[in-house]
């Protein structure tokens, strides 16, 4: 395990870390995995994905049917800091029919058993490394090793992605980034105006200007685009 973690630190591209992680997880019996941030619905998952190692058909169907809203695994990830098996994600099969559908369709794509490692920071930022397979090794010792490996893999990929983003030219001004950062955590124009000690109309004007710069049609999309382009972070 220490050798694997050390090898991540020596890698210089996100793809190299991804390939190494895929190989390691395969050794534990996992055939698919995903590294992603975990936004609160109604935000969609797709813009927040760092590495997509899901079966292609599953990713397309998950997006098309907007499964993220009712995915019990994603929902539990947003509420816990502890790694868990997918089967431990609570929901009622009798009442939560869409949640049951998500789990059943995942099985159709070979994701019978899964394991998820939440990544949580003091800022409240939520991300995860989640994985699945037909019959993976879910022995307690294996899960502890996967927990540590996943955390280091996520950290290395995030660091490399951040370094790449930092080299890009920023589109937004400092105030535009501040306003979208507060909007990203659910603050209204009135809230932001109070926090920044400016008028609500100024907040709206600046937010609209940032929205145009980011080729977005509304503030929510502007926040998503700003996150994707590294203009702001959670």
Residue 233 lies inside a defined structural domain of this protein: no
Whole-number pLDDT of residue 126: 82
pLDDT of 146 strictly over 90 = yes
The domain boundary residue, chosen from 127, 148, 166: 166
pTM: 0.74
Which range (180-184, 193-197, 221-225) has the least confidence? Answer: 221-225
Could you read off the pLDDT of 128-140 as tens digits, one per residue? 999 999 999 999 9
Tokens of 50: 């760092």
Q: Of 134, 166, 198, which residue is a domain's last?
A: 166
Tell me the β-bridge partners of 53. 33
* 43 is a domain residue: yes
Strand, helix or coil at 131?
Answer: strand
CATH number at residue 193: 1.10.10.10
Our count of domains for the chain comes to 2
Query: Residue 150 and residue 118: Cα distance in Å, rounded?
Result: 9
Tokens in use for 202? 């100024």
Q: What is the pLDDT of residue 48?
A: 87
Cα separation, 134 vs 34, in Å, equals 16
The pLDDT assigned to 121 comes to 67
Same domain, 196 and 98: no
């Amino acid at each position: 395990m220490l050798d694997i973690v050390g090898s991540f630190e020596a890698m210089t591209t996100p793809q190299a870390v991804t390939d190494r992680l895929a190989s390691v997880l395969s050794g534990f019996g996992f055939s698919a995995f995903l590294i992603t941030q975990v936004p609160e619905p109604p935000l969609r998952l797709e813009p927040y994905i760092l590495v997509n190692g899901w079966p292609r058909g599953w990713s397309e169907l998950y997006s098309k049917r907007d499964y993220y809203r009712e995915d019990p695994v994603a929902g539990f990830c947003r509420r816990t800091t502890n790694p868990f098996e997918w089967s431990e994600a609570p929901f009622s099969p009798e009442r939560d029919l869409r949640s049951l559908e998500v789990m059943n369709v995942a099985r159709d794509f070979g994701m019978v058993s899964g394991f998820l490692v939440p990544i949580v920071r003091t800022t409240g930022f939520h991300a995860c490394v989640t994985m699945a397979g037909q019959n993976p090794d879910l022995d307690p010792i294996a899960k502890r090793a996967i927990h540590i490996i996943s955390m280091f893999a996520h950290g290395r990929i995030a660091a490399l992605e951040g370094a790449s983003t930092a080299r890009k030219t920023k589109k937004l001004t400092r105030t535009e980034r501040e306003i979208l950062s507060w909007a990203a955590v659910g603050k209204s124009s009135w809230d932001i105006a109070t926090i920044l000690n400016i008028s609500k109309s100024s907040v709206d004007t600046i937010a609209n200007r940032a929205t145009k710069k980011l080729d977005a049609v509304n503030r929510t999309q502007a926040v998503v685009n700003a996150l994707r382009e590294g203009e702001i972070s959670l």
